[in-house]
Amino acid sequence: MTKLISLLIGLLLLTAGAAMAEPWPITYRLSGQLSGDYNGVAFLGSDFNLQVTANATDVTAVSWFDTHDIYGVGNNSPLFSGPDLTGTMFIEGVGQFTFQNRIYVMDSQVNSAFPGEFEIGTDLESTIIRGADSFFESYHLMTPHTSLRGVQSQVGYSSLAVFEEGGAPGTLTLTNASPLDFQAAGGVPEPSTIVLLTAGVAGLLTMRRKQKR
């Protein structure tokens, strides 16, 4: 019996370690309505979808944000993934775009001025869009989340260098956004999923032991 318990513990640790070692793609999605202009042509209240794909196991805390005062207030080591991610944005009636500069995602769990913030931007300086909600105070960018609605939004206001779907370069400027919907698909399985997987493997081993007797 003791050997079986030791085997189960070993399986749990092995499975959990393997899960963390594997690349786990995760796609973050923000959607809602945007206003701004593309190459000088204005759009108002257009539906949009912005998504960025990262590797969940690459998420790190970046302590240099303690002194890099992006928002005008101190940030305590937000979680960060990038800045080598891929991202696409679709704006109804305007087009589908990719970004010329590298993309990052960031979750500032502790911020003295706002609740937790989730941000997508380019090259660590140009915010594309960010959302503020108490959910992000404990979210760690690694696990899926089905849907979070009504997220307070803010756009970066800076001009963004983009490519149209056909490859033509352009300039996208955002001026306003409605409350956002946030989703995260994929990522590292929750601990309960790892436990269930380990239990399944243990069950198969137990059955095999009984069949040999």
Decide if 14 is inside a domain. no
User: Residue 128 contacts by C-beta under 8 Å, 6 or more apart in sequence?
Assistant: 50, 87, 89, 99, 120, 121, 122, 155, 156, 160, 174
pLDDT by residue for the chain (213 residues), tens only, comes to: 555 445 444 544 444 454 445 678 999 999 999 999 999 999 999 999 999 999 988 888 765 444 344 433 344 557 888 778 889 999 999 999 999 988 999 888 765 456 788 999 987 668 899 999 989 988 889 999 999 999 999 998 788 999 999 899 999 999 999 999 999 998 776 554 444 444 554 554 555 555 555
Residue pair 94/43 in contact (Cβ under 8 Å)? The answer is yes
The Cα 111–Cα 103 span in angstroms is 22
In a domain, 12, yes or no: no
How many structural domains does the chain have?
Answer: 1
- 184 lies in some domain: yes
Q: Is 160 helix (H, G, I), strand (E, B) or coil?
A: strand
Is 203 among the domain residues?
no
Any domain includes 205: no
Q: Around Cβ 192, how many Cβ atoms within 10 Å?
A: 8
Helices assigned H by DSSP within the chain: 2-21, 191-212
Task: Note whether residue 120 is domain-resident.
Answer: yes
Asked whether residue 197 is assigned to any structural domain, the reply reads no
Give the range of the structural domain holding residue 110, as residue numbers without chain letter: 23-189
Which two structure tokens, joined as six digits, stand for 9?
A: 């513990």
Asked if the structure places residue 122 within a domain, the reply is yes
